[in-house]
Every structure is written in structure tokens, then in C-alpha cells.
């Protein structure tokens, strides 16, 4: 009576434990909107079923999922389950276009955060009790993803994969360190460098990366493209271009978060490399110039390395002149 469904529709499902797989979408919506608990059950059941399947499949591939860490993950469970499915593809060594397309969808703040907890080696934080086999499989898979240098999804997937590996290994793996000057080489290098900066706190690496950008225009173009598309200030474009007019609202929010959260070497990269590029694209920096000044002044006061403090001070002076 409450749902408006025919009695026969409800009664044929009443004693069926698999009713959720058999009910039509319209009938389910009617039940959700009229009976408390149906919507919550539908969501939890779907997530639990997918989780259990992935946990079993990953165990067969030699990976054990930490269920406690999974439940406490700081991102939506759907993103976490997507990350576990990515791990399954990687462990199985799938290198086809479908896998590249799947991995490419992790370009973005929340999907990337899910991959970070997947690869994390921190006890109680990482989704896997021991991610070593996943890292090894990722290193093996990366060169095969890189064979299609013309494929946008392959380029994006390779960047994402090498970024996660370099964060965990904390070194630039020679097999993943590109030497060419094509789009794939440039974008993969950025993924490796960003991960290594976060993992190693290597200020010299930040300087080498900055010098590389100064010498190579395509590296600069990809650097400028990365933040706005990662934060969804701009749609992801396969030709790595940005709109001529762009407000960096989400980018500013993300950069402010990273200034507070990441190490000094990554701060140095932001101050010397990305923020100046971002200001060329949007001189208002998403309307957050004052917040940016305050954040940089706080970090400069805490920073023990003089060249990083000086870089922050120089940028603050420039920002005050723009305000």
C-alpha cells in the first residue's frame, strides 16, 4: 500500500534472499521512497557483495586485504573498491586497452587518494597487508602500458601507475625514468617525480625537475595542464590543452591543502614551479591569493632549509604586489 506496488510484485520476492537481483529498478525506487531501510540495505548489500568478490579474487592472486583499513579508508568506499579492482588487473598482468582505460579513470583527487591507500605501506592505513607484490607487478606492467605512445589512456594510465610506485619506493626507478621528450615521456616523468618528491623529500629533485621544465616546453605544458584537470577545474582533454580563460578554484583549494600537508621538497616544487605557472593562467588563483600568502608564510616560518624559505618569501612578495 505504501509503495503503490501490486501485491503480486512484492509477494513473489518476499521469501527470496536474492530479491535485490530480481526486482526491477522502478519497483526498487518505489520501495526505497516509502519503506525505511530499503535504500540503506540496497547500498550496503551492493558494496559488500563487490567487496567480498574482490577480496577473494585478490587473495587468489597473493594479496591479502586489510578489512579494518578498508572500512576506515578516508575516501568513499566506491573509490576504494575501484582501487582494489585496479589491483586485480595489475596482478593479472592485463595490459590491453581496456585496462589502460580503467586505470586512466584514476586521474583525479579522490580516485588518486584511493590508489594511495592501496599502495600504502603504513600499518593500519594501507588496504593491503603487504603491497610488495602489487608494486612488483606494477613495475612489470608499466613498460607494456607504454608501448602505445599514441594512446591518451595509455599515457594517463602510465603516469598514474609510475606515480604510485615512486611514492612507495622513494627512488627514481631507472626503468621508469624517461629520457625522451614526447608526451608520454614527459607525463610519465612528472608522475615519477611527484611520487618521489612526496616519498623522499628530495629538494635537489625538485630543482632538477624545475630545470627540466625550463628547457623543455612540452614538460611545461603538461605541468600546467595537470593540476586543473586533476581537480576538475577543467575537463580532461586528450590533446593536453586548457581553455584560454580558466578560474582555478578547485586547484587553489588543493594547492592550499598540499602546502599544509606535504613535505618541504614538495613545497619547494609548488613555490618554484607550479604556483608561478598557475598564476599565469589565473592571476587571482581561484580568488584565494590572500589565503595563499598566509599559507606560504606559515610554512616558511616552520621550514628549516634557507633556500626553501627564501623561495617562499620571494613568491609572497610577488603575490602581495598582485593583490
Write out pLDDT tens, residues 228-242.
999 999 999 988 999
Above 90 in pLDDT, residue 272? yes
Amino acid 176: pLDDT: 41
Phi, psi values for residue 201, rounded to 5°: 60, 45
- Predicted local confidence at residue 314, as pLDDT: 95
The whole-number pLDDT of residue 2 equals 82
pLDDT band at 305 (very low <50, low <70, confident <90, very high): very high
Total residue length of the chain: 323
List all residues 6 or more positions away from 21 whose beta carbon is below 8 Å from its beta carbon: none
Distance of CA 211 to the CA centre of its chain: 25
Note the pTM of the prediction, 2 decimals: 0.84
Q: What is the pLDDT of residue 149?
A: 62
Contact residues for 187 (Cβ-Cβ < 8 A; gap 6+)? 155, 156, 158, 159, 222
Distance CA 299, CA 172 (A): 27
Asked if 295 and 303 touch (Cβ cutoff 8 Å), the reply is no
- Name residues whose C-beta falls within 8 Å of residue 147's C-beta, 6 or more positions apart in sequence: 154
Q: Bridge-partner residues for 65, per DSSP? A: 128
**What is the 3 state secondary structure string of 68-94?**
HHHHHCCCCHHHHHHHHHHHHHHHCCC
Q: Give the separation between CA 273 and CA 220, rounded to whole angstroms.
A: 9
Amino acid at each position: 500500500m505504501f509503495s503503490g506496488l501490486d501485491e503480486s510484485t512484492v509477494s513473489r520476492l518476499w521469501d527470496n534472499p536474492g530479491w535485490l537481483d530480481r526486482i526491477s529498478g522502478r519497483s526498487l525506487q518505489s520501495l526505497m521512497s516509502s519503506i525505511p531501510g530499503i535504500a540503506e540495505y540496497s547500498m550496503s548489500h551492493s558494496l559488500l557483495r563487490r567487496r567480498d568478490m574482490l577480496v577473494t579474487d585478490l587473495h587468489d592472486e597473493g594479496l591479502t586485504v586489510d578489512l579494518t583499513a578498508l572500512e576506515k579508508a578516508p575516501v568513499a568506499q566506491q573509490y576504494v573498491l575501484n582501487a582494489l579492482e585496479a589491483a586485480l588487473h595489475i596482478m593479472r598482468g592485463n595490459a590491453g586497452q581496456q585496462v589502460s582505460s580503467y586505470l586512466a579513470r584514476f586521474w583525479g583527487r579522490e580516485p588518486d587518494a584511493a590508489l594511495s591507500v592501496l599502495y600504502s605501506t603504513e600499518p593500519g592505513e594501507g588496504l593491503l597487508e603487504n603491497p610488495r607484490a602489487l608494486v612488483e607487478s606494477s613495475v612489470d606492467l608499466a613498460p607494456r602500458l607504454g608501448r602505445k605512445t599514441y594512446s591518451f589512456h595509455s599515457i594517463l594510465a602510465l603516469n598514474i601507475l609510475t606515480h604510485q610506485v615512486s611514492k612507495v619506493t622513494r627512488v627514481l626507478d631507472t626503468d621508469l625514468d624517461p629520457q625522451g621528450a614526447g608526451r608520454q615521456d614527459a607525463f610519465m616523468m612528472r608522475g615519477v617525480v611527484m611520487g618521489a618528491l612526496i616519498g623522499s623529500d628530495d629538494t635537489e629533485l625538485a630543482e632538477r625537475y624545475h630545470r627540466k621544465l625550463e628547457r623543455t616546453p612540452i614538460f611545461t605544458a603538461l605541468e600546467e595542464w595537470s593540476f586543473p584537470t586533476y581537480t576538475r577545474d577543467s575537463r580532461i582533454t586528450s590533446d593536453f590543452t586548457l581553455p584560454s580563460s580558466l578560474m582555478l578554484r578547485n586547484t587553489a583549494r588543493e594547492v592550499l591543502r598540499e602546502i599544509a600537508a606535504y613535505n618541504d621538497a614538495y613545497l619547494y616544487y609548488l613555490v618554484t614551479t607550479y604556483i608561478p605557472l598557475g598564476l599565469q593562467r589565473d592571476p587571482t588563483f581561484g580568488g584565494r591569493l590572500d589565503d595563499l600568502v598566509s599559507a606560504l608564510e606559515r610554512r616558511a616560518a616552520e621550514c628549516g632549509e634557507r633556500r626553501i624559505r627564501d623561495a617562499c618569501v620571494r613568491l609572497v612578495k610577488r603575490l602581495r604586489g598582485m593583490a
